[in-house]
Structure 1
């Protein structure tokens, strides 16, 4: 037997119309080498990993209050390739051939423009100036397992360096639509789900992150993940 071991923020940027934020890119360059994509996991392997995860209460007693600062600097260049993790993810997740980049200091692919497909909604996002704060806000880097959720699932007990590594792990991160990322917040699969066509991939990704990082699940979360895995095709 296994051991039982956001608030919505309304901002004006999210109210801007699509025509204000999403504009076509008319200059593209060949992409530099992209970083490794997020790992894929066979549904049968995901089911086995889910069954092996430690189970805990949804709100475990004794867990300190979550603070973003506990996970260190946002988008720190932990892989030391000269670019911050946001630019690495934007480059990796862009529609091939659409990105416009520049060399900035030690970073060879500071991403200026491109097209992305939000995995959670399938919405196409095209930006021509990611130095414009409005456009930069409209495409965000999502932690598949949110930091606040990781915190209550075990990360509160980690040393600072391990939390910083998790927060900037490229296999935990996805480029996503800003409003959609805001609606997801810190929700786990019992509280928030992507479109049905992406639920199998989302569940396997979520489980893989929790398995690799030794994080727990609660009963409602595990139930929701099991339901999502039922949408997977046979291995």
Structure 2
């Protein structure tokens, strides 16, 4: 029987042989390289373990903010703590507003009166007849000066008069242009200065004067509140226009002119058109303190809108005298008595003396 010699045990499968080879190679690596390799493997392991799921579930770091300094009364801001990297920064609240409250001016008297005027479309000028509807200048106070001369005496300076009833010369500081105009009475020169109806009679007619009585229209045409001595050519350019169509070349006078128009339309129950009201309001916005002008006519205008004093009551036990009948044979006699023109209802008025049947006799 043959005997086989034994050798040291050795793995016979390929996997065992590979494992044994790797072990011999690792054992042969120098010590310093082994330490470096260990460090690299440890870092890789820690990175791999921090997957997104783990990161999202991990509690966030707690940041303790340092309290801000106490704000001294009157200070406008507080120091803001520095934001910790990686955290959202909360903005500091804004400081309270310190803007002062603006004072609001109350509406002016002129503006309030404008708000009270009715607004309507203008009427027609097709039946407008200035002289027939509004009459001419009258001497309302019986002092021998008609309304035109009363206005010239009021508005001009350095006036002279040859007869005490008419203005012969004077100097006008024209409100519409700001220019100085010399006035000399005469056929060729009187027109240099004209007396303007601030609310033109044509505009008055289409904004309610049609419904006035004849006496009220004459009062409107002779009311000093509605009259100004002005530069003649400039007055011609104004004509019958309202504030939406014409304003004075001297803008400084626009507020006063508009205020006069509002006062006249208020006094005689006239209206304004929508464009006219808008234009007036725009002008008044530049002069918030504009007052509403008032004016007293030179005298009592017969039958007009000016309030007439109530007749005195007779004393108890007395009988009031019967009114004296007044009769004028013609207009010449009425003028000689200083009674012309005569209005319907006036003592001495007769239809036979009223040639155009307009309610005014002996007007010219």
**Range into which the TM-score falls when normalised by the shorter chain:** 0.7 to 0.9
State how many pairs are aligned: 184
Higher-Rg structure is 2
Q: Distance in 1 between matches of 2:222 and 2:123?
A: 25
Q: Distance in 2 between matches of 1:189 and 1:66?
A: 20
| Aligned 1:16-35 pairs, distance under 5 A | none
| Aligned 1:67-82 pairs, distance under 5 A | 67-82=129-144
Deviation digits for residues 193-216 of structure 1, max 9, x if unmatched?
012111111111111111111110
Match of 1:99 in 2: 159
Deviation digits for residues 169-191 of structure 1, max 9, x if unmatched?
11110001110000000000000
2:127 equivalent to 1:65: yes
CA contact (8 A) 2:244 2:275 kept: yes
Structure 1: which 4+ aligned runs deviate by more than 2 Å?
A: 69-73, 78-81
Q: Distance in 2 between matches of 1:72 and 1:210?
A: 16
Q: TM-score, normalised by structure 1?
A: 0.74
Deviation digits for residues 51-73 of structure 1, max 9, x if unmatched?
0001111x337x76211023343
Secondary structure of the residue that 1:133 maps to in structure 2? coil
2:107 equivalent to 1:47: no
Q: Distance in 2 between matches of 1:185 and 1:220?
A: 18
Report the Cα offset of residue 233 of structure 1. Answer: 5.2
Report the Cα offset of residue 78 of structure 1. Answer: 2.3
| Aligned 1:81-96 pairs, distance under 5 A | 81-95=143-157
Match of 1:202 in 2: 257
Q: Distance in 1 between matches of 2:131 and 2:264?
A: 21
Match of 1:226 in 2: 281
Unaligned runs of 5+ in 2: 1-106, 291-364
Q: Distance in 2 between matches of 1:211 and 1:164?
A: 16
Match of 1:161 in 2: 215
Unaligned runs of 5+ in 1: 1-42
Larger strand percent: 1
CA contact (8 A) 1:101 1:112 kept: yes
2:173 equivalent to 1:117: yes
2:249 equivalent to 1:189: no
- Greater relative contact order (Cα 8 A, min sep 6): structure 1 or 2? 1
Q: TM-score, normalised by structure 2?
A: 0.48
Q: Distance in 2 between matches of 1:151 and 1:204?
A: 19
CA contact (8 A) 1:49 1:207 kept: yes
Deviation digits for residues 155-182 of structure 1, max 9, x if unmatched?
0111111111111111110001110000
CA contact (8 A) 2:199 2:261 kept: yes
Q: Distance in 2 between matches of 1:101 and 1:153?
A: 38
Deviation digits for residues 5-62 of structure 1, max 9, x if unmatched?
xxxxxxxxxxxxxxxxxxxxxxxxxxxxxxxxxxxxxx711111000001111x337x
Report the Cα offset of residue 147 of structure 1. Answer: 0.1
Larger helix percent: 1
Report the Cα offset of residue 117 of structure 1. Answer: 1.1
CA contact (8 A) 2:108 2:288 kept: no
